Structure 1
Amino acid sequence: MPNTYFQFKQFRINQDLCAMKVCTDSCVFGAYVEVRQAKRLLDIGTGTGLLALMVAQRSEAVVEAVEINPEAQAQARQNFLESPWADRLLLHPMPLQEFAEPCTQQYDVILSNPPFFLASLKSNDAAKNTAKHTGDLLFEDILTFAQKHLTESGKLYLLLPPAEANHFAELAKTHALYLNETLEVYTRTGGKCIRHVQTYTFGPTEQAVTKTLDIREEDGKTYTEDFTALLRDYYLIF
């Protein structure tokens, strides 16, 4: 029987109740976003709490998280309480739309690995549908919230597949948020680009920066030096 948890160097992700488990691209996202100077962060659609815990590890910030799914809420709450940073992790068990109504807080960083399949067919698993398909949590909701609650110099980070990332970038302009940087994540050297880590800021930039990260070498087995360096503080195998 496989483990019901994923063990990192400083915390554990219990994930038996969640449809979406710990995956490599989410770990890349959590390790990549710049949070060291942030005082308050928000993770939208936290799931197991993975991203919130990863950014809490390398910052002194108060980290808030929003989650709509009851099973994921229970899992994130457990993972937060069992972590070394329980005193500055705060879970809001509700949809973003409900959380947004009374919210007056400003955030230095807002990050989200949102439901993303805009046109694909849904599965028979309702929990996975909520986690992977735009429905209850829409791109517009994220952008509307960020436009209102991101600090003037704050950053919005998104993890999306390439097609959906391009779509989000166009929508963002209508909310005065502009793509500043993209990290293209590839399965291996010479392989397929599976995700974009996008950084948005207020005000247009002359030229958005594009970087790349290969998870594995061309052999498809060996982790690259860049990936190893990025995840060294998290993965037990490094």
Structure 2
Amino acid sequence: MGSPFNFKYFSVEQDRTAMKIGTDGVLLGAWASLDHEPFSILDIGTGTGLIALMLAQRSTAELIDALEIDEDAYEQAVENFENSDWGDRLFCYHAAFDEFVEEMQEEGMEEEEKYELIISNPPFYSADYSSGDAKRDQARFAEALPFEELLQGVSLLLSKRGKFAVVIPASEEEHFLKIGKQYALLPQRITRVKGTPSSPVKRSLLEMSFLESQLIEDELVIETARHQYTPEYIELVKDFYLKM
């Protein structure tokens, strides 16, 4: 049994899941806007449960649902939820996203039952991606959620005033936004993330909704040198990481 990853207000066991805690998830969980005070949240592909736990810490949402297809990861997320201070607000479903969407559609979701915030750090896979760990790459590949399927499902589950927050490879941003548009999901905020000031943009944090508004775009640099974090990055994640 590996040792848990300790955050300021919760711990995450991750020894049974191939997708370990990484910067992407922490960034997204800290960056997602809660200005519209969502009552209900859905985390698609929760893995260890990290983002759902971060949102439980940050928000007053009464209903935080999480979805996980991999059995080991699902069991681990349930355990992490139960061991947190917010176990009564967190619920994990063991299902694939398309199954979940179908079931919700069959039950005839009313507008007030739709989620006010949907968030996802989707297992993406591109041909040139390799982590050097075959099992981890396989987990990414097997569970990679096609963007089309993700955005279509989100468009069916998101409330009219809801927000959808996602982190994707920067190289996929244009493609992703184009698909989003087909489902009437428009970008509201985009933050492009770079490891250092001179490195290329690697990730795009996107917030989308059905509402038209002025697009806010900015850039976030994580460090200026190894372990020398920028004030912007520290400001974003300081409520979570122990040493920030």
Q: TM-score, normalised by structure 2?
A: 0.89
Do the aligned residues in 2 keep the contact of 1:177 with 1:204 (CA within 8 Å)? no
Do the aligned residues in 2 keep the contact of 1:97 with 1:141 (CA within 8 Å)? yes
Which of 190, 193, 197 is the matching residue for 2:201? 193
Report the number of matched residues: 234
SS of 1:15's equivalent in the other structure is coil
- Residue 124 of structure 1: CA displacement? 7.5
- Residue 128 of structure 1: CA displacement? 3.6
**1:33 alignment counterpart:** 32
Which of 236, 239, 242 is the matching residue for 1:233? 239
**2:216 alignment counterpart:** 209
Task: Tell me whether 1:152 sits opposite 2:151 in the alignment.
Answer: no
CA RMSD of aligned residues (A): 2.0
SS of 2:51's equivalent in the other structure is helix
**2:4 alignment counterpart:** 5
Task: Give matches, 1:100-139, under 5 Å.
Answer: 100-103=101-104, 104=109, 105-120=113-128, 125-126=134-135, 128-130=137-139, 132-133=140-141, 137-139=145-147
One-letter code of the match for 2:20? K
- Residue 136 of structure 1: CA displacement? 5.6
One-letter code of the match for 2:223? R
SS of 2:118's equivalent in the other structure is strand
Do the aligned residues in 1 keep the contact of 2:122 with 2:144 (CA within 8 Å)? no
Deviations 1:59-80 (A, max 9, x none): 1111100000011001101100
- Quote the Cα distance in structure 2 between the aligned partners of 1:114 and 1:47: 10
- Shift of the 168–134 alpha-carbon distance from structure 1 to 2, 3 Å rule, reads farther
Q: TM-score, normalised by structure 1?
A: 0.91
Q: Does 149-158 or 97-106 show the bigger shift? A: 97-106
- Shift of the 135–84 alpha-carbon distance from structure 1 to 2, 3 Å rule, reads closer
Q: Extract unaligned runs of 5+ from structure 1.
A: none
SS of 2:30's equivalent in the other structure is helix
- Shift of the 33–124 alpha-carbon distance from structure 1 to 2, 3 Å rule, reads closer
Do the aligned residues in 2 keep the contact of 1:160 with 1:195 (CA within 8 Å)? yes
**1:58 alignment counterpart:** 58
- Quote the Cα distance in structure 1 between the aligned partners of 2:16 and 2:143: 21
SS of 1:188's equivalent in the other structure is coil
SS of 1:173's equivalent in the other structure is helix
- Quote the Cα distance in structure 2 between the aligned partners of 1:163 and 1:147: 23
- Shift of the 21–136 alpha-carbon distance from structure 1 to 2, 3 Å rule, reads closer
- Residue 188 of structure 1: CA displacement? 1.6
- Residue 113 of structure 1: CA displacement? 0.7
- Residue 31 of structure 1: CA displacement? 0.5
Do the aligned residues in 2 keep the contact of 1:95 with 1:137 (CA within 8 Å)? no
SS of 1:87's equivalent in the other structure is coil
